[in-house]
Homo-oligomer: A and B are copies of this chain.
């Protein structure tokens, strides 16, 4: 699988009175990290929505295990990759590293979702396009759909 890596600095406003990251903030990092992973297809989020007529990739399940606390000003690396492909859903696995230590790991299960053709305001899971699967399954990251690859 293609692993996307981001380097982040823990911000003051992400930390709590114990001086460590307030845990829901990690889930916000997961959410944006999934966004950056999918940009490795060469499509920016809105381009992807337009091209495949999806409304997004709504979450159906999330989980995380917290191993080491992170503090204000820590530099951390987030590694994200698709862990499993279903027909209409997929799981993104995230690891957050502080130096060589694994600080936390988690996953998001999401659905490839279009607007429901008949029921307004509702969504409908759709088959994930083979080319998206191909891009994000390529460990080298050279397979792209769009013209604006982001490394």
Chain B residues with CB under 8 Å of A151's CB are: none
Asked whether A24 lies within 8 Å of B28 as measured between CB atoms, the reply is yes
Given contact pairs A13-B22, A13-B32, A27-B24, A59 touches B66 in the complex (Cβ within 8 A): yes
User: Looking across the interface, which residue of chain B has its beta carbon closest to that of A27?
Assistant: B24
Q: How far is the CA of A62 from the CA of B108 in the complex (A)?
A: 12
Asked whether B46 lies within 8 Å of A73 as measured between CB atoms, the reply is yes
A-side interface residues, number (CB < 8 Å)? 36
Q: How far is the CA of A17 from the CA of B11 in the complex (A)?
A: 11
A-side residues, CB < 8 A to B, are: 11-13, 15-20, 22-25, 27-28, 31-32, 35, 44-46, 55-56, 58-66, 69, 71-73
